[in-house]
Structure 1
């Protein structure tokens, strides 16, 4: 059990005057537990339906549908003197960014902090509450329509309970991170995540995230690049999930066949006829332009790690290195660096260009709190290349694996 395990009367905030009074109070607080409810069924970006806040005494349910100007609350979310607490905040950050154009800071994520403490990687909110406090959280309203008005009493009760338990999680986990001197790492992790959420993916590299893109080359890959760019532009303009514009499998088929006539386009069996009719002119224009390209203009073929000699051996060497650092720092190895993050590092070192670099980012392992940890071991990009891996361990000796 925990001190906040009781039913709080929530304050429903749906007028500017209420919000002003609430924010004046929040400006004096040190910690606020926050959560959001949103709808994202067919849209590219989430539609914010509710913001829940708990200050240890009262739950406030802020209605972003009724209150159009939330700038006062945005100031609270970005106040450096107030710690905001969330759990598994990635989608919350996205919802707040697209609605308020801010990223809350400083933000303590209880899911990541729990992982840092060895309580489980990506453990869900309900499971963590049950594991720590033996309290069962009702998730029955989680998939309801948060845009409809009025919200039901069951929805409001569910939303309220989410943030009261969240404050308890924070107080329990925060003490442990302080003892282990890892609180700053938790805050920095979410700061780095927020930076990524606030920078949109350049449409020119949208094709990088498509499955099987490596199978195409030349004019087919040029077509795929432009098709993916066009699809993302349409999705952003209409706020429509990309697969509701055209499914990825259809995009790949069009790029593979590069049709030049309406009939050839309609013959693509993965493309719905409605989409073919609606986007016919754009799709054929892109295919025609790809066919007209010279070999010099063609998009460079997608590189894959598995095509590099010694990739598996090198990945294992990096994993050994990560395991060693994790043991020294008393951190679960998957939290310090997942396989995806290890592959990020190898791509950054080996590829002519990679998705992260094109967005202006470095690999996670070389950024933020991880970058500070690994700085004593990795002395620059030149230490990793296709032929050798140099790993300095504990500053005393060097392991070199010839690949």
Structure 2
């Protein structure tokens, strides 16, 4: 397995010229995300079947030649389990590559294995056992060892032949558009973020809180997410969720009460205590009419179990009619996402300006007509706050 380490601007231009005629490229990333909110890109691996390049995104400041290739819609990019890679590309290069063929999605459609890992897929398809010993490498530290570079190179060296094996079967089943559309939907989600004022919707046990505690949680969660984004700090390193919920429940009015909250470190109290107390004070003094609506749960809806059962039955019918594995059609989480979108006055998916997965992308034509009939305020079995 031969590869070139590309760590200068000139070398990058030369390498990108070599692969400029390729129609298909295997691509992977290596990044680090420990205390940061966003991933820090260390390498981008690219292979066209002849030239394998390990592009050092730490050493090279101008990555525009790579960006041009990744953004070229005439070049198919092949990745495996691409969700985090897309996040790394968006955070570091400011783009989402397109189009993308994801070999994990393809393997799932072909029933090789649900959410199969790269190493397992390569072992199944090519009878090659990959060394995963460098998976916890610090990809930002320099220099990278030969072992680290070989590990990174293997992630695209075997990916390209895996694509050729899978794509032939996917094409024969007429599922190529499903694979491409699924990744496009994943990419779209990466470009839509939840507005900070709705960050409290994601907090476990928020439904238990009283009106003023809900307002306190809303203000605290909004501040936490804004600070995480401004400083690029993982949100639980800004303020742990369990600490935030405890503050909202107890509504402390002075520092001594903050200090009594389990898990709230003295360092964090010194740094943020005064500001957090101001937020809590705002909530404590607010009129209940200013507080967020009670947070609903699906199990609070009388018709939830029956609706979920009907949706699962619908999935079985669609699966059978279209020869698509049912586990790839819609998970329970995706069905719940649909029900929340239909029934919740304040819905996370809507606030992100997205639609539920089962009425997006390739699934839309399969599900939308049937869902219009089932969830219809006039003649349907279930009500819906939003129109399809």
TM bracket, shorter-chain basis: over 0.9
CA–CA distance in 2 between the matches of 1:118 and 1:125? 15
Picking from 114, 120, 125, the partner of 1:121 is 114
CA–CA distance in 2 between the matches of 1:356 and 1:25? 42
CA–CA distance in 2 between the matches of 1:324 and 1:137? 39
Greater shift, 370-379 or 219-228, is seen at: 370-379
CA–CA distance in 2 between the matches of 1:288 and 1:380? 48
Aligned ranges for residues 229-378 of structure 1 at < 5 Å?
A: 229-378=222-371
Picking from 220, 224, 227, the partner of 2:213 is 220
Unaligned runs of 5+ in 2: 384-388
Say what the alpha-carbon RMSD is for the aligned residues: 1.6
1:33–1:54 contact (8 Å) kept in structure 2:
yes
CA–CA distance in 2 between the matches of 1:339 and 1:324? 16
Structure 1 length normalisation: TM-score?
Answer: 0.92
Q: Size of the alignment, in residue pairs?
A: 383
Q: In the alignment, does 2:153 pair up with 1:160? A: yes
1:349–1:381 contact (8 Å) kept in structure 2:
no
User: Which residue number corresponds to residue 20 of structure 1?
Assistant: 13
Q: In the alignment, does 2:52 pair up with 1:59? A: yes
2:358–2:367 contact (8 Å) kept in structure 1:
yes
Q: In the alignment, does 2:77 pair up with 1:84? A: yes
The 1:220/1:385 distance shift into structure 2, 3 A limit, reads farther
Look up the SS of the partner of 1:375 in the other structure.
helix
After TM superposition, where is structure 1 displaced by more than 4 Å over at least 4 residues in a row?
A: 384-387
Structure 1 residue 372 displacement after superposition:
1.6
CA–CA distance in 2 between the matches of 1:177 and 1:32? 18
Picking from 29, 33, 53, the partner of 1:36 is 29
Picking from 68, 71, 75, the partner of 1:75 is 68
The 1:376/1:387 distance shift into structure 2, 3 A limit, reads closer
CA–CA distance in 2 between the matches of 1:127 and 1:154? 20
Unaligned runs of 5+ in 1: 1-6, 391-403
Q: In the alignment, does 2:186 pair up with 1:190? A: no
Structure 1 residue 164 displacement after superposition:
0.9
2:213–2:248 contact (8 Å) kept in structure 1:
yes
Look up the SS of the partner of 2:290 in the other structure.
coil
The 1:280/1:381 distance shift into structure 2, 3 A limit, reads farther
Structure 1 residue 282 displacement after superposition:
1.4
Q: In the alignment, does 2:173 pair up with 1:180? A: yes
Structure 1 residue 376 displacement after superposition:
3.8
Look up the SS of the partner of 2:115 in the other structure.
coil
2:4–2:54 contact (8 Å) kept in structure 1:
yes
Look up the SS of the partner of 1:32 in the other structure.
strand
- Cα shift readout 1:341-389 (whole Å, capped 9, x = no counterpart): 1111111111112100111111100111000222342337843799824
Greater shift, 205-214 or 86-95, is seen at: 205-214
CA–CA distance in 2 between the matches of 1:386 and 1:164? 55
Greater shift, 378-387 or 168-177, is seen at: 378-387
User: Which residue number corresponds to residue 3 of structure 1?
Assistant: none
Look up the SS of the partner of 2:140 in the other structure.
coil
CA–CA distance in 1 between the matches of 2:131 and 2:239? 36
2:198–2:222 contact (8 Å) kept in structure 1:
yes
Look up the SS of the partner of 1:388 in the other structure.
coil
CA–CA distance in 2 between the matches of 1:162 and 1:341? 30
